[in-house]
Structure 1
Amino acid sequence: MTDLIDLALLFTFGCIGLSLLLTMLRLIAGPTLGDRVLALDTLSINAVSLIVLIGIAGRTQLLFEAALIIAMLGFVSTVAYCRFALRGDIIE
């Protein structure tokens, strides 16, 4: 049973790594600002999933709290960056 879980974790790490690579390419080569904002949001989601996977692989619950904090910060930073891109000001 643990061999199957280890194989699934290895496959998932590979998928998340590929996703991070493709997201970085979109961040660098994004033709518009909207593409770059979306790439940053996707990058934060991928970082959260990678932290959760590391927590599952290490069989620890400590990293899940860090993943929640990074998810909240990623959401707030995406909203702030979008407001800055649209209005030129974050706080009214």
Structure 2
Amino acid sequence: MTVLLACMMALGVSILIALIRVILGPTAFDRVLAVNSIGTIVIIGVVVHGFIMERPEFVDIAILYAILNFIGTFAVLKLFSTGKLS
């Protein structure tokens, strides 16, 4: 349980650093990248939690969340670059 706590605290600090980048980012692309980083950190947290608790189905949940994170980031970047999603 101590390892899980240490990992989650490190991931929490990483999320706070990325959140500062979301707030202070000079461009919209920096903000999108920071939000994508937060999503990736959450995915790592889900996988670590599943590994520590010996629940392999958490990996499936993390893969699904990673796919949604990628699609969402791609859609937002396409919206910023072209002005439309179609």
Q: TM-score, normalised by structure 1?
A: 0.84
Would you say 1:50 and 2:45 are equivalent positions?
A: yes
Deviations 1:3-58 (A, max 9, x none): xxx55443322221110111111111212101101011101111100100110121
* 1:19 corresponds to which of 14, 19, 22: 14
5+ long unaligned stretches in structure 2: none
Matches within 5 A, 1:1-92: 7-91=2-86
5+ long unaligned stretches in structure 1: 1-5
Q: Percent identity?
A: 28
Q: Is the Cα contact below 8 Å between 2:15 and 2:38 reproduced in 1?
A: yes
2:15, 2:35 → 1: CA distance?
A: 10
Aligned length: 86
Q: TM-score, normalised by structure 2?
A: 0.90
CA RMSD in angstroms, aligned pairs only: 1.3
Amino acid at match of 1:43: I
Q: Decide which structure has the larger Cα Rg and report it.
A: 1
1:62, 1:47 → 2: CA distance?
A: 16
